[in-house]
Amino acid sequence: MSYSDEVKVLLEAAGATEGTTVTLEADGRTYKGKIMPHHEFSAPDIVILKMKSGYNVGIRVDSDSKITVIEQPAPAVKKDAEVEEKKGLPTLVLIGTGGTIASYVDYRTGAVHPALSTSDMINAIPEIRDVANVRAKVLFSIFSENMDVAHWQELADCVAEEINNGADGVIIPHGTDTMGYTAAALSFMLGNVSKPVVLVGAQRSSDRPSSDASTNLMACARFCTQGKRAGVFVIMHDTQGDDSFAVHNGARVRKMHTSRRDAFKSINAEPVAHIDKDGKITFSCDGLPVSKEKVEAKTGMEKDVVLLQYFPGMDASVFESVIMNSKGVVFSGSGLGHVNSSLIPLVKKACDNGTVVVMTSQCLNGRTNMNVYNTGRDLISAGVISVLDMLPETAYVKLKWALANTSSAEEAKQLMQTPLVDEMSDRRLF
């Protein structure tokens, strides 16, 4: 949807376009900010301004409104300028997917919609050139709530290709909403990947003084060039300050706050490593070293899998079609892994029908144990399997992958109960 004719006339008369800083008088109030791109979802008479606070405000404009230009945007940096390669430095590839973190390159307008080019991205954090030669490509430009299974698959293929073409590490700027799910998906799809693959987000876009975009990216570059650790990771701020970063196992991490910079937490595991402000990396566990192995992406994903949180009042008749039409169901059950007894006959029917039903806990922390109480034992009798301390979200992603990469429900169950990338603790340790 584009602007109404009325708004177009006003903007043109004032000489204001995307990126222009203006004052806008409308409805008796005066706003000051940069004009943001007009999104397809905005009403035609709404102008969105990014305020000094960093927040966007949508303002309804009519013929009585007044727009005055304060400052025009700086000229755009020439895109795709060649960046000189330095000999002897490792090669990192940045694969852009969108999200808040991608906004740091769009410094002309401060907009959140991403439009990255190699030079844009590298210009934004010049210090990255001291540690690596960096190539960048834009795979998607979407908010992560719109990342879907097909995006995971394309991304995994792209990462494998870059590593097989010589990348020493891959950094994936990603929206934070579903970064945990994507990290889990890449963990299983890429298996024992031979190089570091790091997802990174930002909780504040770069046009805000408190942005964590550059610092998070620089931490990724340091980890990829100095860590010598292979695997799929998420790197984000470790605290609310700017002085420490946590490296999370991609299959153990969950977004645990809507807005804090240290929103990402390892659950049922310590972070793999911490990086201090000087770039010093301290590992807290062993792991696979980098190697020269080729990577094969196994991107198969079963479509018909659902994640269901149990809640009191959950009615078997309401969820019957969802459960019976799924090849896989992950429950985030109560406590040690329970649902109301009234649901057990439906669960049994699904299991008997060949559906793989996996139990996790909505407590998130701790492990499921269905052997302690009757309800749990009944669930086991019905055919439900437990995955100990695996996160519900990771179990969901793994089940989609396991069903597509095995030839029977029994094999998929076995795979679900076998730790592949430290996504669950070893049963023998309990």
Site for a second copy in 96-115 (CB under 8 A): 112
Stretch of residues binding a second copy (CB under 8 A), selected from 127-135, 161-169, 278-286, 365-373: 365-373
418 catalytic residue (yes or no): no
100 catalytic residue (yes or no): yes
Give the active site residue among 50, 195, 255, 265.
255
**Residue 416: which H helix or E strand, with range?**
helix 409-416
The contact mask relative to a second copy for 190-229 (x = CB under 8 A, - = no) is ----------------------------------------
Give the active site residue among 20, 21, 97, 176.
176
Rounded least distance, CB 145 to a second copy, Å: 4
In sequence order, which residues have a C-beta less than 8 Å from that of residue 230 and are 6 or more positions away? 192, 193, 194, 195, 196, 287, 288, 289, 290, 291
Site for a second copy in 379-408 (CB under 8 A): 381, 392-393, 396, 400
Rounded least distance, CB 202 to a second copy, Å: 12
Nearer to a second copy, 106 or 393 (CB): 393
How many residues touch a second copy (CB under 8 A)?
80
Of 89, 115, 256, 316, the one binding a second copy by CB under 8 A: 256
User: Phi, psi (5° rounding) for residue 14?
Assistant: -80, -15
Give the active site residue among 34, 97, 109, 177.
177
176 catalytic residue (yes or no): yes
The contact mask relative to a second copy for 50-89 (x = CB under 8 A, - = no) is -----xx-x-------------------------------
Nearer to a second copy, 363 or 420 (CB): 363
Dihedral sign of CA atoms 144, 147, 152, 156 in order? negative
Stretch of residues binding a second copy (CB under 8 A), selected from 23-31, 146-154, 284-292, 401-409: 146-154
Rg of the chain over Cα atoms, rounded to whole angstroms, equals 24
Of 108, 228, 260, 348, the one binding a second copy by CB under 8 A: 260
Rounded least distance, CB 263 to a second copy, Å: 7
Of 363, 360, 379, 382, nearest to 371 by C-alpha is: 379
The contact mask relative to a second copy for 268-287 (x = CB under 8 A, - = no) is --------------------
Site for a second copy in 162-191 (CB under 8 A): 175-178, 181-182
Nearer to a second copy, 177 or 238 (CB): 177
- For the beta carbon of residue 220, count every other beta carbon within 10 angstroms: 30
Q: What's the rounded Cα separation, in Å, for the pair 195 and 358?
A: 31
DSSP letter at 339?
Answer: -
* Exposure of 269 in the CB half-sphere (CA atoms within 13 A): 28
Of 284, 365, 408, 414, the one binding a second copy by CB under 8 A: 365
User: Phi, psi (5° rounding) for residue 39?
Assistant: -80, 155
Site for a second copy in 286-345 (CB under 8 A): 301, 303-315, 318-319, 321-322, 325-326, 332-342
Give the active site residue among 97, 100, 299, 355.
100
Both tokens of residue 374? 């009757």
Taking a C-beta distance cutoff of 8 angstroms, is the pair 330, 309 a contact?
A: no
Stretch of residues binding a second copy (CB under 8 A), selected from 161-169, 269-277, 370-378, 419-427: 370-378
Taking a C-beta distance cutoff of 8 angstroms, is the pair 155, 139 a contact?
A: yes
Both tokens of residue 426? 């070893």
Q: Which DSSP string do the residues of 36-66 spell out, in sequence order? A: PP--TTS-TTEEEEE-TTS-EEEEE--TT-E
68 catalytic residue (yes or no): no
Q: What's the rounded Cα separation, in Å, for the pair 25 and 257?
A: 36
Taking a C-beta distance cutoff of 8 angstroms, is the pair 185, 159 a contact?
A: no
Q: What's the rounded Cα separation, in Å, for the pair 273 and 195?
A: 16
- For the beta carbon of residue 337, count every other beta carbon within 10 angstroms: 30
Nearer to a second copy, 288 or 306 (CB): 306
Catalytic residues: 100, 176-177, 255
